[in-house]
Structure 1
Amino acid sequence: MILSTMNDLPGYEVTEVLGETFGITVRSRHLGSQIGAAFKSIVGGELKGMTKMLQESRAEAQERLVTEAAAKGADAILAMRFDANEVADGYQEICAYGTAVKVRKLPSAT
């Protein structure tokens, strides 16, 4: 599956637009992470546990995005984006979304 944050894909022609596709995950921080973050906020610096959780969440949301697009028969996802929101205190929603398309590689001009 080709993922692109661009609206087009150089070297390819979009032959069919299959529509919007997305992958979503909602994660909660564990108590130890929340306590550590509270202490870290006093002295400043990176919240490594939270950074790791968000990286894993993005990867999971992107994997679900690709799975949904593949189920629609897509070859690529264009205009891929991430969105993140706090759903409730301690719950983080990560959504990966884009447009599922079928593409054809253009012959190279030599």
Structure 2
Amino acid sequence: MGIEEYGGGQNPGVDVLVVTTDDVPGYRVERVIGEVFGLTVRSRHLGSQIGAGLKSMVGGELRGLTKTLVETRNQAMARLVDQAAARGANAVLAIRFDVTEAADVGTEVCAYGTAVVVAQA
């Protein structure tokens, strides 16, 4: 797998800026819309679970699970951006991710932040 398969972030051309900070240098917040989130739950496929079990005995990265988690995180981020845009935001501040096990059958990933309208200062 190449490095691009392990990365994340926004795709070019997206109209909603997403940042982990509480503000954006050079911009001012004109309006706070409120909390937005993107949520997804992914189940693990049997082959990757068996492979992960074997790999955990000898140590090392679980590449199949890593790739699945990256895809899941990116899907949660895309849903967050879609929700923010639908509510009229052009930015999401203070984005965070929450990852939990979902009833021992999968992984839940939630991206959340504060949707706002920003303008250049």
State the distance in 2 between where 1:104 and 1:79 align.
17
Q: What TM-score results when the alignment is normalised by the length of structure 2? A: 0.86
**Using the alignment, how far apart are the partners of 2:64 and 2:26 within structure 1?**
40
What count of residue pairs does the alignment treat as equivalent?
106
Q: Percent identity, aligned pairs only?
A: 60
More strand by share: 1
Q: Following the alignment from structure 2 to structure 1, what is the Cα–Cα distance between the partners of residues 73 and 24?
A: 23
Whole-Å Cα distance in 1 between the matches of residues 45 and 116 of structure 2? Answer: 38
* 1:7-52 per-position Cα deviation (integer Å, ceiling 9, x unaligned): 1111001000000000000000000000000100110000000000
| Coordinate RMSD, CA, aligned | 0.6
Moved over 4 A (4+): none
**1:1-110 → structure 2 map (5 Å cutoff):** 1-106=16-121
Rg larger for: 1
Counterpart of 1:74, as a letter, is A
Q: TM-score, normalised by structure 1?
A: 0.95
